[in-house]
Amino acid sequence: MIGVIDHGAGNLASVGHALDHLGLEWRAVRHPRQLATVDAIIFPGVGAAGAAMSRLRQTGLEQAVLAFLKSGRPYLGICLGLQLLFQASAEDDSPCLSVLEGRVVRLPTAAKLPHVGWNTVELLRPCSLLDGFDGAAFYFTHSYVVDPASPELACARTSHGAPFVSAIEQGPLFGVQFHPERSGEAGLQVLARFARQMAA
Amino acid sequence: MLSKRIIPCLDVAGGRVVKGHHFLSLKDQGDPVTLAARYARAGADELVFLDITATPEARRTLITMVGKVAKELFIPFTVGGGVASEADVRRLLRAGADKVSIQTAAVSTPQLVPRAAAAFGSQCVVVAIDALRHQQGWELFTHGGRVATGLDAVEWAQRVEQLGAGELLLTSIDADGSKAGYDLELTRAVADGVRIPVIASGGAGRPEDLVEVFVSGHADAALAASIFHSGRWTVREVKEHLQAAGVAVRPCP
Protein backbone atom coordinates (compact mmCIF):
# COMPACT_ATOMS: atom_id res chain seq x y z
CA MET A 1 0.00 0.00 0.00
CA ILE A 2 1.35 3.37 -1.08
CA GLY A 3 0.49 6.40 1.02
CA VAL A 4 0.10 9.61 -0.95
CA ILE A 5 0.61 12.59 1.34
CA ASP A 6 -2.27 15.06 1.15
CA HIS A 7 -1.07 18.45 2.33
CA GLY A 8 -4.07 20.34 1.03
CA ALA A 9 -2.54 21.93 -2.04
CA GLY A 10 -0.68 19.05 -3.69
CA ASN A 11 -2.21 17.60 -6.79
CA LEU A 12 -3.24 14.36 -5.16
CA ALA A 13 -5.73 13.42 -7.87
CA SER A 14 -3.29 13.08 -10.74
CA VAL A 15 -0.87 10.92 -8.73
CA GLY A 16 -3.79 8.79 -7.58
CA HIS A 17 -5.08 8.33 -11.13
CA ALA A 18 -1.63 7.29 -12.32
CA LEU A 19 -1.37 4.70 -9.51
CA ASP A 20 -4.90 3.45 -10.33
CA HIS A 21 -3.89 3.13 -13.98
CA LEU A 22 -0.90 1.02 -12.93
CA GLY A 23 -3.12 -1.16 -10.75
CA LEU A 24 -1.31 -0.09 -7.57
CA GLU A 25 -3.03 0.18 -4.20
CA TRP A 26 -2.82 3.57 -2.56
CA ARG A 27 -4.48 5.73 0.04
CA ALA A 28 -4.45 9.45 0.76
CA VAL A 29 -2.61 10.28 3.99
CA ARG A 30 -3.88 13.30 5.94
CA HIS A 31 -3.18 12.18 9.52
CA PRO A 32 -0.21 10.44 11.15
CA ARG A 33 -2.18 7.31 12.04
CA GLN A 34 -2.90 6.70 8.34
CA LEU A 35 0.79 5.99 7.82
CA ALA A 36 0.57 2.83 9.94
CA THR A 37 -0.73 0.69 7.08
CA VAL A 38 1.53 2.20 4.45
CA ASP A 39 4.59 0.51 2.91
CA ALA A 40 5.84 3.46 0.89
CA ILE A 41 5.21 7.19 0.66
CA ILE A 42 4.71 9.35 -2.38
CA PHE A 43 4.85 13.04 -1.55
CA PRO A 44 3.32 14.85 -4.55
CA GLY A 45 4.36 18.04 -6.10
CA VAL A 46 2.15 21.06 -6.48
CA GLY A 47 2.16 23.81 -3.88
CA ALA A 48 4.31 26.29 -2.06
CA ALA A 49 6.93 25.14 0.47
CA GLY A 50 5.81 27.30 3.40
CA ALA A 51 2.13 26.39 3.08
CA ALA A 52 2.92 22.68 2.81
CA MET A 53 5.27 22.71 5.84
CA SER A 54 2.81 24.54 8.08
CA ARG A 55 0.10 22.07 7.10
CA LEU A 56 2.43 19.14 7.89
CA ARG A 57 3.12 20.66 11.32
CA GLN A 58 -0.54 21.30 12.09
CA THR A 59 -1.52 17.73 11.29
CA GLY A 60 1.45 16.12 13.02
CA LEU A 61 2.51 14.63 9.70
CA GLU A 62 5.95 16.25 9.91
CA GLN A 63 7.07 14.01 12.78
CA ALA A 64 5.22 11.01 11.37
CA VAL A 65 6.91 11.31 7.97
CA LEU A 66 10.32 11.68 9.66
CA ALA A 67 9.66 8.54 11.72
CA PHE A 68 8.55 6.71 8.56
CA LEU A 69 11.79 7.66 6.82
CA LYS A 70 13.86 6.38 9.78
CA SER A 71 12.16 3.00 9.36
CA GLY A 72 13.86 2.63 5.97
CA ARG A 73 10.70 2.29 3.90
CA PRO A 74 10.71 3.84 0.40
CA TYR A 75 9.84 7.49 -0.16
CA LEU A 76 9.36 9.25 -3.47
CA GLY A 77 9.26 13.01 -3.41
CA ILE A 78 7.86 14.68 -6.51
CA CYS A 79 8.88 18.33 -7.11
CA LEU A 80 7.90 19.94 -3.78
CA GLY A 81 8.11 16.50 -2.14
CA LEU A 82 11.75 16.34 -3.22
CA GLN A 83 12.50 19.88 -2.13
CA LEU A 84 11.01 19.44 1.35
CA LEU A 85 13.59 16.75 2.13
CA PHE A 86 16.25 19.44 2.36
CA GLN A 87 16.97 21.94 5.13
CA ALA A 88 15.34 25.14 3.98
CA SER A 89 13.72 26.69 0.95
CA ALA A 90 14.46 30.15 -0.40
CA GLU A 91 10.83 30.13 -1.56
CA ASP A 92 9.19 32.02 1.35
CA ASP A 93 12.30 31.29 3.53
CA SER A 94 10.65 28.18 4.86
CA PRO A 95 12.47 25.60 7.00
CA CYS A 96 11.91 22.09 5.59
CA LEU A 97 12.20 18.49 6.83
CA SER A 98 16.02 18.51 6.96
CA VAL A 99 16.36 14.85 6.05
CA LEU A 100 19.08 15.72 3.55
CA GLU A 101 21.73 18.41 3.75
CA GLY A 102 21.38 21.25 1.33
CA ARG A 103 19.03 24.04 0.36
CA VAL A 104 16.27 24.78 -2.09
CA VAL A 105 17.18 27.75 -4.27
CA ARG A 106 15.67 29.65 -7.15
CA LEU A 107 17.11 28.19 -10.34
CA PRO A 108 20.02 30.50 -11.22
CA THR A 109 19.21 30.95 -14.89
CA ALA A 110 18.80 33.71 -17.45
CA ALA A 111 15.98 31.64 -19.00
CA LYS A 112 12.31 32.16 -18.15
CA LEU A 113 10.89 30.92 -14.85
CA PRO A 114 8.89 28.98 -13.94
CA HIS A 115 10.62 26.27 -15.96
CA VAL A 116 7.52 24.80 -17.57
CA GLY A 117 7.34 21.99 -20.07
CA TRP A 118 9.07 18.85 -21.30
CA ASN A 119 12.80 18.69 -20.77
CA THR A 120 15.32 15.88 -20.96
CA VAL A 121 17.19 14.18 -18.13
CA GLU A 122 20.86 13.28 -18.23
CA LEU A 123 21.78 10.35 -15.99
CA LEU A 124 24.88 10.91 -13.86
CA ARG A 125 25.09 7.41 -12.39
CA PRO A 126 22.99 4.26 -12.14
CA CYS A 127 19.55 5.31 -11.00
CA SER A 128 16.90 2.75 -9.97
CA LEU A 129 13.95 4.76 -11.25
CA LEU A 130 15.54 6.20 -14.40
CA ASP A 131 17.93 3.63 -15.88
CA GLY A 132 17.29 3.48 -19.63
CA PHE A 133 15.76 6.97 -19.65
CA ASP A 134 18.95 8.91 -20.37
CA GLY A 135 17.87 11.65 -22.78
CA ALA A 136 14.16 11.02 -22.26
CA ALA A 137 11.78 13.96 -21.75
CA PHE A 138 9.71 14.50 -18.62
CA TYR A 139 7.31 17.27 -17.63
CA PHE A 140 8.65 19.97 -15.31
CA THR A 141 6.93 22.93 -13.70
CA HIS A 142 8.89 24.77 -11.01
CA SER A 143 11.12 27.75 -10.27
CA TYR A 144 13.07 26.27 -7.36
CA VAL A 145 15.61 23.46 -7.42
CA VAL A 146 17.51 21.46 -4.82
CA ASP A 147 21.15 22.21 -4.14
CA PRO A 148 22.40 19.16 -2.19
CA ALA A 149 25.45 19.57 0.07
CA SER A 150 26.82 16.29 -1.30
CA PRO A 151 26.83 16.31 -5.12
CA GLU A 152 26.84 12.49 -5.29
CA LEU A 153 23.23 12.50 -4.08
CA ALA A 154 22.19 13.55 -7.59
CA CYS A 155 21.54 10.77 -10.09
CA ALA A 156 20.21 12.91 -12.95
CA ARG A 157 20.44 16.49 -14.06
CA THR A 158 18.59 18.71 -16.49
CA SER A 159 19.45 22.04 -18.03
CA HIS A 160 17.33 25.17 -18.34
CA GLY A 161 19.84 27.89 -19.01
CA ALA A 162 21.76 26.35 -16.11
CA PRO A 163 22.09 22.71 -15.02
CA PHE A 164 20.15 21.55 -11.96
CA VAL A 165 19.54 18.31 -10.09
CA SER A 166 16.49 16.59 -11.56
CA ALA A 167 16.63 13.31 -9.61
CA ILE A 168 18.22 12.06 -6.40
CA GLU A 169 18.56 8.62 -4.88
CA GLN A 170 19.93 7.56 -1.50
CA GLY A 171 18.97 4.11 -0.32
CA PRO A 172 15.14 4.01 -0.15
CA LEU A 173 14.92 7.76 -0.63
CA PHE A 174 13.99 8.95 -4.12
CA GLY A 175 13.19 12.36 -5.44
CA VAL A 176 12.40 13.76 -8.87
CA GLN A 177 12.03 17.40 -9.82
CA PHE A 178 9.76 16.51 -12.75
CA HIS A 179 6.21 15.15 -12.55
CA PRO A 180 6.12 11.42 -13.43
CA GLU A 181 2.32 11.45 -13.11
CA ARG A 182 2.18 14.06 -15.91
CA SER A 183 4.99 12.67 -18.10
CA GLY A 184 3.11 10.17 -20.24
CA GLU A 185 4.32 6.57 -20.55
CA ALA A 186 7.87 7.29 -19.35
CA GLY A 187 6.49 8.85 -16.19
CA LEU A 188 4.18 5.92 -15.50
CA GLN A 189 7.18 3.59 -15.77
CA VAL A 190 9.05 5.65 -13.18
CA LEU A 191 6.12 5.27 -10.77
CA ALA A 192 5.92 1.53 -11.48
CA ARG A 193 9.62 1.18 -10.71
CA PHE A 194 9.16 3.03 -7.44
CA ALA A 195 6.37 0.62 -6.50
CA ARG A 196 8.76 -2.28 -7.09
CA GLN A 197 11.11 -0.76 -4.48
CA MET A 198 8.34 -1.46 -2.01
CA ALA A 199 8.33 -5.15 -2.78
CA ALA A 200 12.13 -5.40 -2.79
CA MET B 1 16.80 21.46 -23.58
CA LEU B 2 13.29 22.67 -22.89
CA SER B 3 10.92 21.82 -25.73
CA LYS B 4 8.43 24.22 -27.26
CA ARG B 5 4.98 22.94 -26.35
CA ILE B 6 2.09 22.10 -28.65
CA ILE B 7 -1.19 22.47 -26.82
CA PRO B 8 -4.49 21.49 -28.42
CA CYS B 9 -7.24 23.60 -26.91
CA LEU B 10 -10.64 22.15 -26.25
CA ASP B 11 -13.15 24.94 -25.89
CA VAL B 12 -16.05 23.44 -24.00
CA ALA B 13 -19.61 24.59 -23.56
CA GLY B 14 -22.22 22.45 -21.89
CA GLY B 15 -19.70 19.61 -21.59
CA ARG B 16 -19.05 19.44 -25.36
CA VAL B 17 -16.06 20.67 -27.32
CA VAL B 18 -16.73 23.67 -29.54
CA LYS B 19 -14.51 26.04 -31.42
CA GLY B 20 -15.48 29.67 -31.40
CA HIS B 21 -14.97 31.61 -34.58
CA HIS B 22 -14.23 35.13 -33.37
CA PHE B 23 -15.74 33.85 -30.12
CA LEU B 24 -19.28 33.93 -31.48
CA SER B 25 -20.40 31.10 -33.73
CA LEU B 26 -20.08 27.82 -31.88
CA LYS B 27 -19.81 24.61 -33.83
CA ASP B 28 -20.04 21.33 -31.95
CA GLN B 29 -16.92 19.19 -32.20
CA GLY B 30 -17.20 16.29 -29.81
CA ASP B 31 -16.69 14.63 -26.48
CA PRO B 32 -13.94 16.23 -24.37
CA VAL B 33 -12.72 13.04 -22.71
CA THR B 34 -12.43 11.11 -25.98
CA LEU B 35 -10.67 13.99 -27.69
CA ALA B 36 -8.33 14.53 -24.75
CA ALA B 37 -7.21 10.91 -24.69
CA ARG B 38 -6.73 10.94 -28.46
CA TYR B 39 -4.54 14.03 -28.32
CA ALA B 40 -2.49 12.66 -25.43
CA ARG B 41 -1.75 9.51 -27.45
CA ALA B 42 -0.94 11.57 -30.54
CA GLY B 43 1.84 13.46 -28.80
CA ALA B 44 0.21 16.64 -27.49
CA ASP B 45 2.43 18.12 -24.80
CA GLU B 46 -0.43 19.54 -22.78
CA LEU B 47 -4.12 20.29 -23.13
CA VAL B 48 -6.20 23.31 -22.28
CA PHE B 49 -9.93 23.18 -21.55
CA LEU B 50 -11.72 26.49 -21.67
CA ASP B 51 -15.32 26.64 -20.61
CA ILE B 52 -15.99 29.52 -22.97
CA THR B 53 -19.51 30.26 -21.87
CA ALA B 54 -18.72 30.10 -18.16
CA THR B 55 -18.15 33.74 -17.30
CA PRO B 56 -21.03 35.45 -19.12
CA GLU B 57 -23.59 32.92 -17.96
CA ALA B 58 -22.10 32.61 -14.50
CA ARG B 59 -21.58 28.92 -15.12
CA ARG B 60 -18.99 27.04 -13.14
CA THR B 61 -16.50 24.89 -15.00
CA LEU B 62 -17.61 21.32 -15.09
CA ILE B 63 -15.79 19.62 -12.25
CA THR B 64 -17.14 16.23 -13.31
CA MET B 65 -15.62 16.58 -16.77
CA VAL B 66 -12.29 17.59 -15.26
CA GLY B 67 -12.33 14.52 -13.06
CA LYS B 68 -13.02 12.24 -16.03
CA VAL B 69 -10.30 13.84 -18.12
CA ALA B 70 -7.79 13.52 -15.26
CA LYS B 71 -8.39 9.76 -15.18
CA GLU B 72 -7.63 9.39 -18.89
CA LEU B 73 -4.73 11.79 -19.18
CA PHE B 74 -1.14 11.48 -18.02
CA ILE B 75 -0.03 14.76 -19.51
CA PRO B 76 -0.69 18.16 -17.94
CA PHE B 77 -3.89 20.06 -18.52
CA THR B 78 -5.19 23.50 -17.70
CA VAL B 79 -8.80 24.41 -17.06
CA GLY B 80 -10.26 27.88 -17.38
CA GLY B 81 -13.54 29.66 -17.72
CA GLY B 82 -15.44 31.25 -14.87
CA VAL B 83 -12.67 30.83 -12.31
CA ALA B 84 -13.65 33.53 -9.84
CA SER B 85 -12.27 32.59 -6.43
CA GLU B 86 -9.59 30.72 -4.53
CA ALA B 87 -12.21 28.05 -3.83
CA ASP B 88 -12.76 27.62 -7.60
CA VAL B 89 -9.01 27.16 -8.07
CA ARG B 90 -8.84 24.60 -5.28
CA ARG B 91 -11.84 22.64 -6.62
CA LEU B 92 -10.34 22.40 -10.11
CA LEU B 93 -6.91 21.38 -8.86
CA ARG B 94 -8.37 18.74 -6.58
CA ALA B 95 -10.51 17.39 -9.43
CA GLY B 96 -7.24 16.75 -11.28
CA ALA B 97 -6.39 19.89 -13.23
CA ASP B 98 -2.72 20.82 -13.17
CA LYS B 99 -3.26 24.51 -13.73
CA VAL B 100 -6.14 26.92 -13.75
CA SER B 101 -6.56 29.81 -16.09
CA ILE B 102 -7.95 33.03 -14.65
CA GLN B 103 -9.14 35.81 -16.91
CA THR B 104 -11.99 38.13 -15.90
CA ALA B 105 -11.51 37.65 -12.15
CA ALA B 106 -7.84 38.65 -12.47
CA VAL B 107 -9.05 42.06 -13.66
CA SER B 108 -11.97 42.49 -11.25
CA THR B 109 -10.11 40.97 -8.27
CA PRO B 110 -6.36 41.18 -8.97
CA GLN B 111 -5.54 39.90 -5.46
CA LEU B 112 -6.87 36.50 -6.51
CA VAL B 113 -3.63 35.96 -8.46
CA PRO B 114 -1.19 36.36 -5.52
CA ARG B 115 -3.57 34.51 -3.18
CA ALA B 116 -3.79 31.51 -5.53
CA ALA B 117 -0.04 31.58 -6.12
CA ALA B 118 0.69 31.60 -2.38
CA ALA B 119 -1.74 28.77 -1.69
CA PHE B 120 -1.02 26.48 -4.63
CA GLY B 121 2.21 27.75 -6.20
CA SER B 122 2.71 30.08 -9.16
CA GLN B 123 3.16 27.14 -11.50
CA CYS B 124 -0.55 26.38 -11.47
CA VAL B 125 -1.74 29.95 -11.96
CA VAL B 126 -2.23 30.84 -15.61
CA VAL B 127 -3.60 34.26 -16.45
CA ALA B 128 -5.52 34.41 -19.72
CA ILE B 129 -5.20 37.62 -21.69
CA ASP B 130 -7.47 38.38 -24.64
CA ALA B 131 -6.14 41.27 -26.68
CA LEU B 132 -7.60 43.32 -29.52
CA ARG B 133 -5.33 45.30 -31.80
CA HIS B 134 -5.66 49.09 -31.88
CA GLN B 135 -3.76 51.61 -33.95
CA GLN B 136 -1.17 51.61 -31.23
CA GLY B 137 -0.82 48.50 -29.12
CA TRP B 138 -3.48 46.08 -27.92
CA GLU B 139 -6.40 46.45 -25.55
CA LEU B 140 -7.20 43.91 -22.84
CA PHE B 141 -10.63 42.31 -23.03
CA THR B 142 -12.42 40.16 -20.47
CA HIS B 143 -15.49 37.90 -20.41
CA GLY B 144 -14.14 35.66 -23.17
CA GLY B 145 -13.27 38.61 -25.41
CA ARG B 146 -16.58 40.44 -25.07
CA VAL B 147 -15.84 43.27 -22.65
CA ALA B 148 -13.28 46.02 -23.22
CA THR B 149 -11.26 47.12 -20.21
CA GLY B 150 -9.38 50.16 -21.52
CA LEU B 151 -6.17 48.52 -20.23
CA ASP B 152 -3.07 47.94 -22.34
CA ALA B 153 -2.60 44.20 -22.82
CA VAL B 154 1.20 44.26 -22.61
CA GLU B 155 1.17 46.35 -19.43
CA TRP B 156 -1.43 44.02 -17.97
CA ALA B 157 0.82 41.03 -18.76
CA GLN B 158 3.64 42.67 -16.80
CA ARG B 159 1.30 43.49 -13.94
CA VAL B 160 0.04 39.92 -13.51
CA GLU B 161 3.60 38.62 -13.73
CA GLN B 162 4.36 40.85 -10.72
CA LEU B 163 1.24 39.53 -9.00
CA GLY B 164 2.52 35.96 -9.25
CA ALA B 165 1.14 34.43 -12.46
CA GLY B 166 3.16 31.41 -13.55
CA GLU B 167 2.20 31.54 -17.22
CA LEU B 168 0.22 33.66 -19.62
CA LEU B 169 -2.30 32.38 -22.12
CA LEU B 170 -2.34 35.11 -24.72
CA THR B 171 -5.15 35.17 -27.29
CA SER B 172 -5.37 37.56 -30.19
CA ILE B 173 -9.05 38.35 -30.68
CA ASP B 174 -8.24 39.54 -34.22
CA ALA B 175 -6.53 36.31 -35.20
CA ASP B 176 -8.75 33.87 -33.34
CA GLY B 177 -10.73 31.72 -35.75
CA SER B 178 -9.07 33.31 -38.80
CA LYS B 179 -6.68 30.40 -39.50
CA ALA B 180 -4.39 33.07 -40.96
CA GLY B 181 -1.62 32.75 -38.39
CA TYR B 182 -0.94 34.03 -34.90
CA ASP B 183 -0.59 37.76 -34.19
CA LEU B 184 3.21 37.62 -34.15
CA GLU B 185 3.70 41.23 -33.07
CA LEU B 186 1.40 40.86 -30.09
CA THR B 187 3.00 37.56 -29.10
CA ARG B 188 6.49 38.99 -29.36
CA ALA B 189 5.58 42.16 -27.45
CA VAL B 190 4.24 40.12 -24.54
CA ALA B 191 6.79 37.28 -24.65
CA ASP B 192 9.69 39.74 -24.66
CA GLY B 193 8.01 41.95 -22.08
CA VAL B 194 7.72 39.34 -19.31
CA ARG B 195 9.98 36.71 -17.70
CA ILE B 196 7.33 33.99 -17.47
CA PRO B 197 6.29 31.56 -20.22
CA VAL B 198 3.77 32.72 -22.80
CA ILE B 199 1.31 30.42 -24.55
CA ALA B 200 0.28 32.00 -27.86
CA SER B 201 -3.28 31.45 -29.02
CA GLY B 202 -5.53 32.35 -31.91
CA GLY B 203 -5.03 31.98 -35.63
CA ALA B 204 -3.25 28.66 -36.20
CA GLY B 205 -4.24 27.29 -39.59
CA ARG B 206 -1.11 25.60 -40.89
CA PRO B 207 2.03 24.06 -39.32
CA GLU B 208 4.00 27.05 -40.63
CA ASP B 209 1.96 29.29 -38.33
CA LEU B 210 3.32 27.42 -35.33
CA VAL B 211 6.87 27.64 -36.67
CA GLU B 212 6.46 31.41 -36.95
CA VAL B 213 4.97 31.92 -33.52
CA PHE B 214 8.00 30.22 -31.97
CA VAL B 215 10.69 31.68 -34.25
CA SER B 216 9.35 35.25 -34.72
CA GLY B 217 6.77 35.45 -31.96
CA HIS B 218 9.11 34.11 -29.24
CA ALA B 219 6.29 32.07 -27.73
CA ASP B 220 7.08 29.29 -25.29
CA ALA B 221 4.04 27.24 -26.25
CA ALA B 222 1.43 27.35 -28.97
CA LEU B 223 -2.25 26.70 -28.48
CA ALA B 224 -4.26 25.47 -31.44
CA ALA B 225 -7.76 24.14 -31.90
CA SER B 226 -9.35 23.82 -35.31
CA ILE B 227 -6.05 22.89 -37.03
CA PHE B 228 -6.23 19.67 -34.99
CA HIS B 229 -9.97 19.26 -34.43
CA SER B 230 -10.66 19.37 -38.15
CA GLY B 231 -8.27 16.46 -38.69
CA ARG B 232 -6.46 18.52 -41.29
CA TRP B 233 -3.14 18.16 -39.45
CA THR B 234 -1.95 15.78 -36.76
CA VAL B 235 0.21 16.75 -33.80
CA ARG B 236 2.95 14.59 -35.30
CA GLU B 237 2.88 16.44 -38.63
CA VAL B 238 3.03 19.79 -36.89
CA LYS B 239 5.97 18.63 -34.77
CA GLU B 240 7.76 17.35 -37.88
CA HIS B 241 7.42 20.79 -39.43
CA LEU B 242 8.77 22.39 -36.28
CA GLN B 243 11.68 20.00 -36.06
CA ALA B 244 12.59 20.61 -39.69
CA ALA B 245 12.58 24.34 -38.93
CA GLY B 246 15.00 23.82 -36.05
CA VAL B 247 12.45 24.25 -33.24
CA ALA B 248 13.03 21.91 -30.27
CA VAL B 249 10.00 19.69 -29.70
CA ARG B 250 9.30 16.56 -27.69
CA PRO B 251 9.21 13.59 -30.08
CA CYS B 252 5.81 11.95 -30.48
CA PRO B 253 5.45 8.55 -28.80
| Partner-chain contact A116 B120, CB within 8 Å | no
| Partner-chain contact B74 A111, CB within 8 Å | no
Other beta carbons less than 10 A from residue A156's beta carbon: 25
**Residue A121, phi-psi category: left (phi > 0), alpha (psi -120 to 50), beta (remainder):** beta
Annotation marks residue B130 as catalytic = yes
Q: What's the whole-number mean pLDDT along residues A143-166?
A: 97
pLDDT higher than threshold 70 for residue A122:
yes
Q: What's the whole-number mean pLDDT along residues A130-142?
A: 96
CA-nearest residue to B40 within chain A is A184
Q: What's the full length of chain B, in residues? A: 253
Of A42-46, A112-116, A121-125, B99-103, the least confident: A42-46
Q: Which of A7, A62, A79, A155 is catalytic?
A: A79
Report chain A residues whose CB lies below 8 A from the CB of B96: 11, 13-14, 17
| Partner-chain contact A184 B117, CB within 8 Å | no
Between A and B, how many residue pairs show a Cβ–Cβ distance under 8 A?
A: 116
Name the residue among B230, B233, B193 with its Cα closest to residue B209: B233
Task: Determine the pLDDT at residue B34.
Answer: 85
Report chain A residues whose CB lies below 8 A from the CB of B70: 13-14, 17
Name the residue among B222, B30, B181, B2 with its Cα closest to residue A107: B2
Task: Determine the pLDDT at residue A91.
Answer: 81
- Does the complex come out with an ipTM higher than 0.85? yes
Which contacts (CB < 8 Å, 24+ apart) does range B238-244 have?
A: B238/B6, B238/B207, B238/B210, B239/B6, B239/B43, B240/B207, B241/B207, B241/B208, B241/B210, B241/B211, B242/B4, B242/B6, B242/B207, B242/B210, B242/B211, B242/B214
Task: Determine the pLDDT at residue B58.
Answer: 38
Task: Determine the pLDDT at residue B21.
Answer: 40
Q: Which residue has the higher pLDDT, A94 or B105?
A: B105
pLDDT higher than threshold 60 for residue A106:
yes
User: Are A90 and A142 contacting, i.e. CB atoms less than 8 angstroms apart?
Assistant: no
Per the structure, how many domains does chain A have?
Answer: 1
**Domain containing residue A185: CATH number:** 3.40.50.880
- Residue A166: domain span: 2-199
Percent of chain A with pLDDT over 90: 87
Task: Determine the pLDDT at residue A133.
Answer: 97
Round to whole Å and give the CA distance between A79 and A56: 16
Task: Determine the pLDDT at residue B54.
Answer: 56
Quick: pLDDT tens for A47-69. Answer: 778 888 999 999 999 999 999 99
Chain A residues 16-35 with CB within 8 Å of chain B = 17-18, 20-21
| Partner-chain contact A184 B1, CB within 8 Å | no
The shares of helix, strand and coil residues in chain B, as percent rounded to the nearest 5, are: 35, 25, 35
Report chain A residues whose CB lies below 8 A from the CB of B119: 9, 47-48, 51
Task: Determine the pLDDT at residue A146.
Answer: 97
Contact residues for B243 (Cβ-Cβ < 8 A; gap 6+): B249
Segments in chain B below pLDDT 70: 19-30, 54-61
List the single best residue of B4, B46, B89, B98 to mutate versus A (max A Cβ within 10 A): B98
Q: What domains can be seen in chain B, in order of their start residue? A: 5-244 (3.20.20.70)
Q: Closest to A46 (Cβ–Cβ): which among B45, B124, B220?
A: B124
Annotation marks residue A79 as catalytic = yes
Task: Determine the pLDDT at residue B25.
Answer: 44
Task: Determine the pLDDT at residue B56.
Answer: 44
CA-nearest residue to B118 within chain A is A48
How does the average pLDDT of chain A come out, rounded?
A: 94
